[in-house]
Amino acid sequence: MATAFIFPGQGSQTVGMGKDLADAVPEARAVFEEVDEALGESLSKTIWEGPEEKLTLTANAQPALMAVSIAALRAMQSRGLLLEKSVSYVAGHSLGEYSALCAAGTFSLSDAARLLRIRGEAMQKAVPVGQGAMAAIIGFEQPDVEAICDEASAKGAVQIANDNGGGQLVISGSKDAVEKAAELAKDKGAKRALMLPVSAPFHSSLMEPAADRMRAALADVTMNAPTVPLIANVTVSPLTDPAEIADRLVEQVTGRVRWRETMEWFAANDVETLYEIGAGKVLSGLAKRIDRSLTTIPIGSLDDIEKALNALS
């Protein structure tokens, strides 16, 4: 049976994350130092000391979460982990795809940090504040939510942004259309339809300016073939060609994060164990709701790392 490393996305951040790893493992501390240097500021200070409102800003949260994931990975590697020998696939939720690609050697750490800073800023600037929105629809499956989005589209652009599985889908688009879709979902019997406290309509067609910015940014960095295949958010297929990976990363800015299907793909392709590398346990919780045959193990502390290395050896 195969193993996959998965990397969390925005929302998993907490002030103080990764500090114990940096204090205990020189290779982990070096990750935060390199990210600080790449960005020309002490992002690590924001990660470890806050304030939370500053860490939560998209332009900070994205490189911060990547840094914590790679710090955990480097701590594992310092204790003997060889990614290409222990892991069959990598995947990441939205920005976590960049963490996965950095882990697999497609991006250098410095380039991954700079790309995520650009991505965060571009996504924030793509739509004026107040014009976009996102909402979580609970208790419906993908076809139901697609039908609701179609009905609400008379009010503006609205689409599924994330299919997280277990009857949890997130929609994104223009504020009026998202509010209309949430209202329709409640009327049609959804368990809940919650407007989300986000500042931009991520993974919607309104993010096209950010996609253009990422196309240019990705063209300026060196990309290597990953040492293990990436299961891409937008295609749910294994990718190893750098040019195709770049295209899919651009597409991901405006496209759907197909996380439910990614977990189903793992289960159907003999992946038994998923290690969630970095902050939080969000992806582990989602995987359990999607397919209980998948064993999920969060890796965020030294204790987690020691247990995982024993299991992987």
Residues marked active site are found at 94, 203
Q: Can you count the helices (H) and strands (E) in the chain?
A: 15, 10
* H helix or E strand, kind and range, residue 169: strand 168-174
DSSP annotation string for 175-225 = HHHHHHHHHHHHHTT-SEEEE---SS-TTSGGGHHHHHHHHHHHHTS--PP
Extract the runs of DSSP E, i.e. beta strands, from 79-167. Answer: 89-92, 132-138, 158-165
Structural contact between residues 259 and 8, judged by C-beta atoms closer than 8 angstroms: no
Structural contact between residues 118 and 185, judged by C-beta atoms closer than 8 angstroms: no
The tally of CA atoms less than 13 A away on the side-chain side of residue 233 is 31
Q: Amino acid letter at 27?
A: E
